[in-house]
């Protein structure tokens, strides 16, 4: 048993089976003497429904997963190189693929007995966007062992990619010099556009930060709930062990009581037998005394007759 194989099994289970299976594996690790492994297994977090659905997709369709990873590599490269044509082409593919994968997740989850809501599906879509934007997120997602949904990095949002793809390429320089007034007006217009672009970018980043903060708060709340659940599970396991110990002691006490009762019965039987033998002996002794007395009386009678 090792952590990777246990994690691979746990994150492939339905969410409701995760906790019991984790407890069994941790108990088996403790029983084998590997308390460190037991602790690491116990620290594995139960996945949210959206994380479980993403894991389900990776495991059910590795080819689609590989296609999303390749698309993410292309998008990130195009974004770094500011290749607008490539970004437009890959952006169109991204929208189609994310939509198709979201529908596939919805169908897979329903087939597995866990239909997902629109809010959960949105978390799945955000996770897929994070996979496209962030190589670290892509690596985590590809393991099929997510415990919570992912989010794309600030500044690499879907709207930012779309805006960059739509932005026209810089115009070629004019062959003839511009008049000073025209150049001034052009610089003012360019400055206004730049200011609006910066404001839009700042607004987008602020919204992204707010979403990140909300996500972090939700994750913290989830972590606290998971910690409380883990404590409750450990207390329940301890209580269950105490109950088993008490039951074993009760069974042992009952066996001792049954043995004592059986021994008491044997003792009573022996005592009754001894009493009976004492009574019989006393009766025999009395009869012997009477017989002796009768014999003495006959001897005395015979002696009297002879004298």
- pLDDT tens, the chain, 307 aa long: 789 999 999 999 998 999 999 999 999 999 999 999 999 999 999 999 999 999 999 998 888 788 888 887 877 776 666 656 655 666 667 778 788 888 999 999 999 999 999 999 999 999 998 998 888 999 999 999 999 999 887 655 444 444 444 444 444 444 444 555 555 566 667 666 556 656 665 565 566 556 656 655 655 565 566 657 666 766 766 677 777 888 888 898 888 888 888 888 888 888 888 888 888 888 988 898 898 888 888 888 888 887 6
| Token pair for 250 | 């009760």
Distance CA 222, CA 106 (A): 23
Distance CA 40, CA 36 (A): 6
* pLDDT at position 271: 86
CB 179: neighbour CB atoms within 10 A? 9
Distance CA 126, CA 252 (A): 59
Distance CA 161, CA 116 (A): 28
pTM tops 0.75 = no
* pLDDT at position 50: 93
CB 259: neighbour CB atoms within 10 A? 10
Distance CA 106, CA 53 (A): 8
């Amino acid at each position: 048993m090792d952590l990777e194989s246990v994690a691979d099994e746990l994150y492939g289970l339905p969410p409701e089976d995760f906790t019991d299976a984790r407890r069994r594996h941790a108990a088996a690790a403790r029983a084998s003497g590997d308390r460190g492994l037991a602790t690491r297994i116990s620290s594995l977090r139960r996945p949210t429904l959206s994380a479980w659905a993403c894991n389900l997709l990776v495991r059910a369709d590795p080819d689609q997963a590989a296609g999303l990873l390749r698309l993410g590599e292309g998008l990130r490269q195009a974004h770094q190189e500011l290749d607008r044509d490539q970004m437009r082409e890959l952006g169109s593919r991204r929208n189609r693929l994310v939509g198709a994968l979201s529908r596939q997740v919805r169908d897979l989850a329903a087939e597995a007995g866990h239909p997902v809501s629109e809010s959960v599906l949105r978390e799945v879509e955000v996770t897929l966007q994070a996979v496209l934007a962030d190589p670290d997120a892509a690596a985590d997602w590809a393991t099929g062992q997510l415990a919570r949904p992912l989010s794309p990095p600030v500044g690499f949002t879907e709207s930012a990619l779309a805006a960059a793809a739509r932005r026209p390429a810089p115009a070629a320089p004019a062959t003839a010099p511009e008049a000073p007034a025209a150049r001034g007006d052009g610089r003012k217009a360019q400055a206004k556009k730049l200011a609006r672009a910066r404001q839009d970018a700042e607004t987008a980043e602020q919204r992204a930060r707010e979403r990140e903060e909300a996500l972090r708060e939700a994750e913290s709340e989830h972590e606290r709930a998971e910690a409380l659940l883990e404590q409750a599970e450990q207390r329940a396991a301890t209580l269950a062990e105490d109950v088993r110990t008490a039951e074993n002691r009760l069974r042992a006490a009952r066996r001792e009581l049954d043995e004592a009762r059986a021994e008491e019965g044997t003792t009573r039987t022996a005592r009754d037998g001894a009493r009976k033998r004492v009574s019989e002996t006393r009766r025999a002794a009395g009869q012997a005394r009477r017989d002796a007395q009768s014999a003495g009386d006959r001897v005395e009678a015979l002696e009297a007759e002879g004298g």
